[in-house]
Amino acid sequence: MRILITNDDGVFAPGLAALARGLDAAFGDEHELVVVAPLTDHSGASSAVGRVYEREAIPYETVEIPGLARVAAYGIDGAPALAVILACIEGFGPRPDLIVSGINHGVNTGRSVLHSGTVGATLTGAQFGVRGLAVSIAWGEEPIPWESPVALAVALVPVVAGLAPASVFNLNVPALPLEKLQGIRHGNLGRIGLIRSVRPERTPQPVDGPGIDRTGGVVTLNLRGSGSAAERAELEPGSDAALIAEGWASLTPIHGVREDTSEVGSAALAAALEATARV
């Protein structure tokens, strides 16, 4: 089995190094590991690949993860989804059988998975039929207990590898030592995550430049966590974010782009086609 390790925090991030070392210790003697990840931080990139149609080639660098000389590692000038695409079209050796993305520093729960480069990498791989596991740990005080998500990821790899092609799991872990975790449970994808935005403030400012008169400004986005008891009470029971707040690791099966074949979707499509037939 060939395992691709990637992330969105960048190839030099400590979370990726911890994950790669853990997977190598567990599987490196029997399976082939390769790292292909962005050279720089691409957090929040989702499944974006950038303006690749304007680039004839994607630059990359060979890197060495400390203490892991036997694992080939590459940093690309691009987003995590692009790294996965290049790996899946055999730009860095044979196509991977499994993608493990992370460890992201900061959970990817609720609707925020839509924006996550960590999750986006695995969903991109799923479009090639490759199974995936996205791994994230909550923000916490140093030292970050990377060993907790590493241990869970190591346990999950054989399970995910045996699933149907294109299966993807999203694993989120509290910033707790392994012995202090409550355990791991299925977390429903919540409507509210642990990090949320409050109403932004818009400040108009003059905009200099030629041409017609223009106005602009800045929009200040304030983010807050679900730290207080009242804020945690807003989280849906059984959701991924609620489990993390209670000290549980959360595991959620997810899928990406799929055609809507439900009755509601089919009815809406029929109405739309009927309306446009008269154009």
Q: What pLDDT is stored for residue 230 in this prediction?
A: 45
Q: What is the mean pLDDT of the chain?
A: 89
Domain ranges for the chain, please list them.
2-190+233-254, 195-228
For residue 230, the tally of other CB atoms under 10 A from its CB is 8
98: burial class by Cβ within 10 Å (0-12, 13-18, 19+)? buried
Q: What pLDDT is stored for residue 19 in this prediction?
A: 98
Residue 37's SS3 state is strand
Tell me the average pLDDT across 243-257. 94
Residue 213's SS3 state is coil
The pLDDT tens digits of the residues spanning 83-95 come to 999 999 999 999 9
**pTM, two decimal places:** 0.88
CA distance 251 to 184: 7
CA distance 139 to 17: 17
For residue 154, the tally of other CB atoms under 10 A from its CB is 16
Q: What pLDDT is stored for residue 219 in this prediction?
A: 73
DSSP category for residue 112: G
Residue 204 has pLDDT above 90, yes or no: no
The percent of residues above 70 in pLDDT, for the chain, comes to 87
The pLDDT tens digits of the residues spanning 110-156 come to 888 988 999 999 999 999 999 999 999 998 888 999 999 999 999 99
Tell me the average pLDDT across 63-88. 95
Confidence grade of residue 35 (pLDDT, cut at 50, 70, 90): very high
Which amino acid is located at 146 in the chain?
A: W
Confidence grade of residue 72 (pLDDT, cut at 50, 70, 90): very high
- SS3 for 152-209, per residue? HHHHHHHHHHCCCCCCEEEEEECCCCHHHCCEEEECECCCCCCEEECCCEEEEEECCC
For residue 135, the tally of other CB atoms under 10 A from its CB is 27
- Does domain 2-190+233-254 correspond to CATH entry 3.40.1210.10? yes
Tell me the average pLDDT across 157-175. 97
Residue 220 has pLDDT above 80, yes or no: no
Q: What pLDDT is stored for residue 190 in this prediction?
A: 84
CA distance 159 to 131: 10
Confidence grade of residue 41 (pLDDT, cut at 50, 70, 90): confident
Which amino acid is located at 177 in the chain?
A: P
